[in-house]
Amino acid sequence: MDEPLNRLVLVCVWKKVGLRISGEKTKAITVGDQTTSPITMEGQNIEKVDKFQYLGSYLSENGDVEVDIRARLGKTSSVFQRLRPIWKCSTITSDAKLRLYSSIVVPTGIYASETWKTTNKINKMIDVFHRRCLRSILDISWRDHITNDEVMARTGQDDTVATRRRRFVGHILRLPTTRPVIVWP
């Protein structure tokens, strides 16, 4: 379909079901190297943006997920810092702290990770953050000269992003062939 036809179909659908779309609040993004003419809706120009947030994830026009991952790690860092009194408490066992970390902090950090592209840079960003959190929970300083492998062995943690991706692929492979697969973002 060419671009004007896509716009026409969209306009017809929202008008047909009785929706009103605000031109001031609506934003447009073009993914890829496409150059498009200005988008208008009922005489109003729609602002073109290079990235925006949708359902907690950032989308960018070049399809890069680094913006989303950096934002996700920022949110995760905030959650981790709010739990700092628990991490520093000497009366709570390390096992309890690690269970809290795995059930609260990790899901915040890897939300929608099943759809992220995998690059060494992205994997390193996530691994560095993960290990830094684990070292903080176990009160391990860099001066202690404990390797990352030893930290991972002590905590029993694994590569949670890879695990979630494998689980996601398993779900996709078990779907009936007649059902379309929609991956977002």
| Residue 107 and residue 139 in one domain | yes
| Residue 99 and residue 167 in one domain | yes
| Residue 74 and residue 127 in one domain | yes
Give the strand pairing for 27-28 and 47-48.
parallel
Q: Is residue 8 part of a domain?
A: yes
Q: What is the pLDDT of residues 25-44, one digit of tens each?
A: 777 777 666 666 777 777 77
HEC secondary structure over 107-159: HHHCCCHHHCCCCHHHHHHHHHHHHHHHHHHCCCCHHHCCCHHHHHHHHCCCC
Mean pLDDT across the stretch 107-133? 83
What pLDDT was estimated at residue 31?
67
| Residue 26 and residue 82 in one domain | no
* Average pLDDT score over the chain: 78
What distance lies between CA 173 and its chain's CA centroid? 22
Q: What is the pLDDT of residues 77-115, one digit of tens each?
A: 999 999 999 999 999 999 999 999 988 998 888 887 777
Into how many domains does the chain fold?
2
| Residue 16 and residue 73 in one domain | no
| Residue 25 and residue 105 in one domain | no
Look up the domain containing 41 and give its range.
Answer: 3-49
CB atoms within 10 A of CB 126: 21
pLDDT band at 183 (very low <50, low <70, confident <90, very high): low
Q: What is the pTM of this model?
A: 0.66
| Residue 73 and residue 104 in one domain | yes
What pLDDT was estimated at residue 57?
75
